């Protein structure tokens, strides 16, 4: 049986914050691998400046290619439509019934768990691992989900504060500002080569 971390997201584009989160979950939760799971279509919001699911998947592959602790799945892309966590976890269980699934989220997402589609099923299918920063109240998060069956399946791990976001990176690219060191070099090269996010070239430094 393997302990599999699942880090879902739009990854538009993937950046050091995503990678550090995956690394810390892998180390602190004793995971065998962390799988980045790009969504086909976000269920609750549009993806601005979306280059398309296949290109976001390729960006994830480039970002993780040199780290054997990380992998990428196209499960949600192949299924298509809005990506709901419960459906994804069911599909992963069907593929590998013996694996233990750990679904990785940030503090804000964890706090909103009761509003998700089928939150009880999510907690029945996986441990929900919360990336907690110093200013994130673990007690408040635990209290927010306490009424859900399976709330004791919440786990926390420490996450350094990194003020990097995909929104900020897209804005930097559009303005012609450098994004090197904020994303892996391979991601910088791909964004520039394919003219993503409103720029035909990206400054390397």
Residue 201 lies inside a defined structural domain of this protein = no
Tens of pLDDT, residue by residue over 125-170, are 999 999 987 655 888 898 999 999 999 999 999 999 899 999 999 9
- Asked if residue 110 is part of any domain, the answer here is yes
Q: 156-185: buried (b, 16+ CB within 10 Å) or exposed (e) per residue?
A: bbebeeeebebeebbebbeeeeebeebbbe
| Residues 34-49: tens digit of each pLDDT | 999 999 876 666 667 8
192 falls within a domain? no
- Is 131 a domain residue? yes
- Asked if residue 204 is part of any domain, the answer here is no
pLDDT of residue 135: 56
pLDDT at 64 > cutoff 70: yes
List Cα–Cα distances, 13 to 58, 62, 141, 196, in angstroms.
Answer: 10, 11, 27, 10
Is position 102 within any domain? yes
Total domains in the chain come to 1
Residue 127's pLDDT is: 97
For residue 118, tell me if it sits in a domain: yes
Q: How many whole angstroms separate alpha carbon 89 and alpha carbon 51?
A: 26
The CATH number of the domain holding residue 17 is 3.40.50.620
Q: Pick from 50, 117, 116, 40: which is nearest to 75 by CA?
A: 40
Structural domain harbouring 151 = 3-163
Q: Is residue 34 helix, strand or coil?
A: strand
Residues 6+ apart with CB under 8 A from 145: 110, 111, 113, 114, 119, 151, 154
Residue 113 is assigned to a structural domain of this protein: yes
Residue 72: which pLDDT band, with cuts at 50, 70 and 90?
very high
Which of 83-92, 142-151, 195-204 is predicted least confidently?
Answer: 195-204
Other CB atoms within 10 A of residue 92 CB: 21
């Amino acid at each position: 049986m393997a302990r599999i971390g699942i880090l879902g997201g739009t990854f538009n584009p993937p950046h050091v914050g995503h990678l550090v989160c995956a690394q810390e979950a892998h180390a602190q939760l004793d995971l065998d691998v962390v799988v980045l799971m790009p969504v086909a279509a976000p269920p609750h919001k549009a993806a601005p400046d979306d280059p398309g699911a296949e290109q976001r998947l390729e960006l994830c592959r480039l970002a993780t290619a040199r780290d054997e602790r990380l992998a990428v799945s196209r499960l949600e892309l192949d299924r298509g439509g809005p990506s709901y966590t419960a459906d994804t976890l069911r599909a992963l269980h069907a593929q590998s019934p013996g694996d233990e699934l750990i679904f990785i989220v940030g503090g804000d997402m964890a706090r909103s768990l009761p509003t998700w589609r089928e939150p009880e099923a999510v907690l029945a299918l996986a441990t929900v691992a919360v990336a907690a920063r110093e200013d994130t109240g673990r007690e408040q998060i635990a209290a927010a989900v306490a009424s859900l069956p399976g709330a004791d399946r919440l786990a926390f791990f420490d996450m350094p504060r990194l003020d990097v976001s995909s929104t900020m990176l897209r804005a930097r690219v559009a303005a012609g500002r450098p994004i090197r060191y904020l994303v892996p070099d391979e991601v910088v090269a791909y964004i520039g080569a394919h003219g993503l996010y409103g720029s035909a070239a990206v400054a390397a430094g």
